[in-house]
Amino acid sequence: MWHHNPLRSARPRLGQGTDIARGARVEIDLPLIGGKVPLTRDQRLARQEKTRRRAIVADTVTAQAARVGLGGHTHVNVRLHFATGDSRGRDQANLAATLTPCLDGLVRAGVIPDSAPQHVTRWSAEIHPGSGPRRLWLEITPTTGT
């Protein structure tokens, strides 16, 4: 059985220095399950498997947000990125199913008080086609402090 350790598989990347303040970007790597995005709108998964995958994503985001000291903010911008590793077409809207547990993880980590629109601006997912390693990551940009 596959076991996920969020502290080992996800590495935060700070975009602008080590100060996580307004305007600083943080990237959190998210796990790929079987080399694929954990959740998409088109998937047909059993309820238990879907719940397990949501927990993996949320736990990863919670652990990494705490690890980098993202702190509490009243508003953040978020965007999912997916490097496909090939040149096949992908639908950006399908990644929305992965974004929801990411936001749950940010709430649990105390980064935002709630995943409501007044606290989070969700930018459409960005697909990076081309050869290379597959990678899925969440970009978080705080826009206001605590």
Average confidence score pLDDT of the chain: 82
At residue 75, the pLDDT reads 94
Q: Give the mean pLDDT of 88-111.
A: 90
**Which residues does 19 contact at the CB level (< 8 Å), separation at least 6?**
none
Q: Which domain holds residue 39?
A: 6-144
pLDDT tens-place string over residues 22-31: 668 899 999 9
The reply to whether 98 falls in a domain is yes
Q: Which helix (H) or strand (E) holds 60?
A: helix 47-68
**Domains held by the chain: number:** 1
Q: Give the Cα separation of 146 and 134 in Å (integer).
A: 35
Query: Which CATH number does the domain housing residue 36 bear?
Result: 3.30.1330.70
Q: Establish if 133 belongs to a structural domain.
A: yes
How much is the average pLDDT of 112-119? 94
Helices in 69-95 by DSSP H: which ranges? none
